[in-house]
């Protein structure tokens, strides 16, 4: 993949914690990137630059780290923000989708009335690994009648195949950095 001039700067700000949350996982910790004032700004600006002027109605952000990037992005683009949350967190009528994670299984939910028929959504999270979470969010969007414009992440772990999986499902993927074979 081709990455922008800020990719190395961003990558160096991401901390890797081995064996979290379980043995064998290299956890890519974005808190060290987000606490850096330039890091936070560059991440949001890169996404704002990519999506300004594109036909997006809502940012669909995945709990919890997706919210951190998704909220300022929606604000800057002047579009609505819709949370995709873990099971049992949303107070209204929900639609849910069960999926497998890199570590474990989970279920995500969206308010049944969060998206209108034909709306175009940008799915946002901090990282794509197997793509299961983003795929689940995309399925929920589709069940609401919305169209997935693209899926955006700070980090791609290409060895885990998530990008390929989403692209094969017809969803374009944009990422700012990748950790391949590391």
Q: Is 102 part of the annotated catalytic residue set?
A: yes
Q: Distance from CA of residue 2 to its chain's centroid?
A: 19
Span 83-102, contacts to ligand AMP by CB under 6 A: 101-102
Using CB under 6 A as the binding rule, whether residue 126 contacts ligand AMP is answered as yes
Using CB under 6 A as the binding rule, whether residue 130 contacts ligand AMP is answered as yes
Using CB under 6 A as the binding rule, whether residue 28 contacts ligand AMP is answered as yes
Question: Would you say 15 and 29 are in contact if contact means Cβ atoms under 8 Å apart?
Answer: yes
Using CB under 6 A as the binding rule, whether residue 182 contacts ligand AMP is answered as no
Using CB under 6 A as the binding rule, whether residue 175 contacts ligand AMP is answered as no
Q: Contacting ligand AMP (CB under 6 A), which of 74, 131, 154, 177?
A: 131
| CA nearest to 124, candidates 89, 176, 165, 161 | 176
List Cα–Cα distances, 136 to 72, 95, 109, 123, 143, in angstroms.
Answer: 23, 11, 9, 11, 11
Using CB under 6 A as the binding rule, whether residue 132 contacts ligand AMP is answered as yes
Q: Is 165 part of the annotated catalytic residue set?
A: no
Give me the active site residues, please.
Answer: 65, 102
- Residues forming contacts to ligand AMP in the complex (CB under 6 A) are 25-28, 62, 65, 101-102, 125-133, 162
């Amino acid at each position: 993949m081709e990455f922008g001039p800020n990719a190395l700067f961003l990558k160096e700000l991401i901390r890797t914690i081995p064996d979290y949350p379980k043995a064998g996982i290299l956890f890519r910790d974005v808190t060290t990137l987000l606490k850096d004032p330039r890091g936070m700004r560059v991440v949001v600006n890169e996404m704002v630059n990519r999506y300004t002027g594109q036909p997006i109605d809502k940012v669909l952000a995945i709990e919890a780290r997706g919210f951190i990037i998704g909220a300022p992005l929606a604000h800057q683009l002047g579009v609505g923000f819709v949370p995709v949350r873990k099971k049992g967190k949303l107070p209204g009528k929900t639609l849910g989708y069960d999926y497998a994670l890199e570590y474990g299984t989970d279920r995500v939910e969206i308010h049944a009335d969060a998206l209108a028929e034909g709306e175009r959504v940008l799915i946002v999270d901090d990282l794509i690994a197997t793509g299961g979470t983003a795929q689940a969010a995309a399925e929920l969007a589709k069940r609401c009648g919305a169209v997935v414009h693209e899926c955006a992440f700070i980090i791609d772990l290409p060895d885990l195949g998530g990008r390929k999986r989403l692209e094969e499902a017809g969803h374009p993927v944009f990422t700012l950095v990748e950790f391949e074979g590391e």
